[in-house]
A and B are shown apart, each in its own frame.
Chain A
Amino acid sequence: MELKEKLVSSFLAFEDTIDIHSPVHDIRSEAIKTFETNDFPSKKEEAWKYTPLNSILKHDYSVFPKQENALEYRDIKKYFIHDIDTYKIVFIDGKYSSHLSQTTHDGIDVCLMSSALNKPKYRLIIENYFNKVATKDSLASLNTAFSSEGAYIHIPKNKLVEKPIQIIHFSTGNEAALMLQPRNLIVVDENSHVQIIERHQSLTDNPVLTNSVTEIFANKRAIVDYYKVQNDNKNASLIDSTFVNQKDQSHCLVHTFSFGGKLTRNNLNFYQNGERLDSTMKGITIIGEKQHVDHNTLVHHIEPNCESHQDYKGIFADSSTGVFNGKVVVEKLAQKTNAFQSNNNILLSDKASINTKPQLEIFADDVKCSHGCTIGQLDESALFYMKQRGIPEKEAKALLMFAFSNNVLNSVKIPELKQRITKLIAMKLGVNIGFDL
């Protein structure tokens, strides 16, 4: 059976298992119809032209894993930022693992989507926020239809959350092929500040397809600092759709580090529903072999006096392919907008490629918008210079590439995470040098 048919037919069975009186029942039913009508996106759609999904849709994915699987912390410790105290929301094959998690209801809610969807005390938040910023495209709708588990984070006003929150999804490979659809909701109220790290990690080479949706609401003067660490196994693919709704003077930063996986698509959408707020998107992509990473960003400037900053660096080796599609819309009302976008790429092989496309739609007349993209190779004269000083070719290249992506790393605010990413970069570049630049 085709994956689409399988999903549509399993929806009824799925709805039976959960409370059909829940406020999201109608939303789910509507969403499955949208998916059924629109199907998975095809290459014919402009937004998916360079990211064909055929190769990842062909597997016979298990949509509801049958058994509960356990993991020992010591075996997966390395995937956590473990040298600092953090909250943890951990899932194994889509199921919550209380054993590995550390949640809280002490002044803030760091817990599960399944609880939030079912317990009356969360009803108001769910009614006000659930599926309110996610778009109704087919993949987000598919996720909405099956939304039952994920992270639920609600930070009431005036809270500075001192510990970062880690959201980690493991897949054990106990299923021959597994499809996961995590759904996260993050609501940060006035003046509050939170740091979140998200990771999807497959532990075997069995195919995994994750269709993840995250909705983030940053209310007045909230600061949301979000990090996505993508370094998955070679048969794991991720379609991540993250939607951010911002209110006055909020700051929201999303860093995306894409170092692995088979196919990764990052749909990152910011909606600026307030004044004097700031949206920042940064990314480092370092891939090789036949890996594919696609960053599809949108910033919708709706109100005046706001800023957006985008800075994406990409390094592509072997036959890897990259896509950057950055759309900035500035509405007529959004005067005094400052919108900056930059996408710089290095191709290390003749077979690697990157398609980069800035898309600016500006309807206001008093704005500052800039965009720039570059595609280049490593500077040969710099390499000779470094080699002349005794730095071998491989290390010299690594140092140049690290320096190239360094300004993205500089804005990482959790030192232990920064250190970890630095190590991942060194590993990815195959060198053993400390890049303390």
Chain B
Amino acid sequence: MLQIKNLHASVENKSILKGINLEVKAGEVHAIMGPNGSGKSTLASVIAGKEEYEVEKGQILLNGEDLEDLAAEERAHKGIFLSFQYPVEIPGVSVTNFIKTAINETRKAKGLEDMPAKDMLKMIREKAEMLEIDRKFLSRSLNEGFSGGEKKRNEIFQMAMLEPKLAILDETDSGLDIDALRIVANGVNKLKSKDNAVVVITHYQRLLDYIVPDFVHVLYNGRIVKSGGKELAHELEEKGYDWVKEEVNA
């Protein structure tokens, strides 16, 4: 599904990604871990098509198609979803209207008619229930005044509505208490299928108890320096990142 080949990227002439190679197949869950400043969020933004990041070298392919010339919204239309570490507040636009617009613009890009209002409402109700989201919440301005947990839950709600092929969850666990974490993780697990893939970016092993990865990668200094199975996450949790750094620097 996703192939990243020798990816180098920079922001404001500062080189951040220095040769990433990664392959994610349909049906898989990958975790990307690593210390602060290692480039995890940059990798997520570059895949999603944030313009401030300059791809200097390498390729990102989604189902064989090079994403280089595609704008962020075109990547979204092709099924890439990024759950933001810091979801942006948009005063004056309700959660419901935002998701309606997002779905219908995606359908428009695919040459489809708007989703009938009845179907939309039904879908909104189902997905909100799955994530234990209160109806009142849906008429509030997007992310405005939301708690950290509400923001993250709202991200997963949008993911559930948009049904992406590739979901990248950037630090979705930060700001969540244990109950919210369980709800969010359950939501992600329910959305998982053999046809889509999930990349979980996280500092801690905690979330990976709930969303169990097939592969764990350690990102350090702009490169994936170590890959393994889910046991690698436990090892990192126990020992921290210093031993990985030492191995790399040796």
Contact = CB atoms under 8 A, between A and B. Distances in A.
Interface in B27-74: 48-51, 71-73
Contacts of B73: 387-388, 390-393, 396
Contact of A387 (B71, B90, B99): B71
B92 A384 contact: no
Interface in A221-238: none
A400 B142 CA distance: 11
A393 to B, nearest CB: 7
Contact of A436 (B71, B82, B84, B97): B97
A390 B162 contact: yes
Interface string A349-391: 0000000000000000000000000000001011011111111
B19 interface: no
A284 to B, nearest CB: 13
A403 B93 contact: yes
Contact of B105 (A381, A391, A406): A391
A382 B88 CA distance: 6
B90 A389 contact: no
B87 A390 contact: no
Among A385, A403, A435, A436, chain B packs the most CB atoms within 10 A around the CB of A385
B189 interface: no
Given A395-B101, A437-B97, A388 B92 contact: no
A399 interface: yes
B10 interface: no
Interface string B179-198: 00000000000000000000
Interface size class of B (residues with CB under 8 A): 20 to 34
Interface SS of A by simple majority? helix
B109 interface: yes
A338 to B, nearest CB: 24
Contact of B90 (A385, A388, A393): A385
Contacts of A400: 90, 93
Nearest to B86: A381
B106 interface: yes
Contacts of A402: 92
A360 B50 CA distance: 44
A95 to B, nearest CB: 43
A392 B82 CA distance: 16
B101 A388 contact: no
A404 interface: yes
A388 B168 CA distance: 12
Among A388, A390, A406, A436, chain B packs the most CB atoms within 10 A around the CB of A390
A395 B93 CA distance: 13
Given A389-B98, A399-B101, A382 B90 contact: yes
Contact of B92 (A393, A395, A407): A407
A20 interface: no
Contacts of B162: 389-390
B92 A403 contact: yes
B91 A388 contact: no
A267 to B, nearest CB: 29
A384 B50 contact: yes
Nearest to A382: B88
Interface in B93-134: 93-94, 97-99, 101-103, 105-106, 109
Contacts of A435: 97
A399 B88 CA distance: 14
A400 B93 CA distance: 8
Contacts of A436: 97
A387 B92 contact: no
Nearest to A402: B92
A161 interface: no
Given A390-B106, A400-B90, A403-B90, A384 B72 contact: yes
Interface in A399-432: 399-400, 402-404, 406-407
A392 B92 CA distance: 18
Contacts of B98: 386, 389, 399
B8 interface: no
A433 interface: yes
A403 B144 CA distance: 13
Contacts of B103: 390
A385 B106 contact: no
B72 A387 contact: yes
B238 to A, nearest CB: 35
A72 B76 CA distance: 49
B223 interface: no
B172 interface: no
A390 B159 CA distance: 12
A266 to B, nearest CB: 24
Contacts of B221: none
B87 A385 contact: yes
Contacts of B88: 379, 381-382, 384-385
Nearest to B106: A390
A117 B229 CA distance: 91
A390 B105 contact: yes
B158 interface: yes
B77 interface: yes
8 contacts: A381-B88, A387-B73, A388-B82, A389-B98, A390-B103, A396-B73, A403-B91, A437-B92
Interface of A: 379, 381-382, 384-393, 395-396, 399-400, 402-404, 406-407, 433, 435-437
Given A384-B50, A403-B93, 5 more contacts: A387-B49, A389-B81, A389-B162, A395-B101, A436-B97
* Shortest 3 CB-CB contacts between residues of A and residues of B: A403-B92, A390-B76, A387-B72
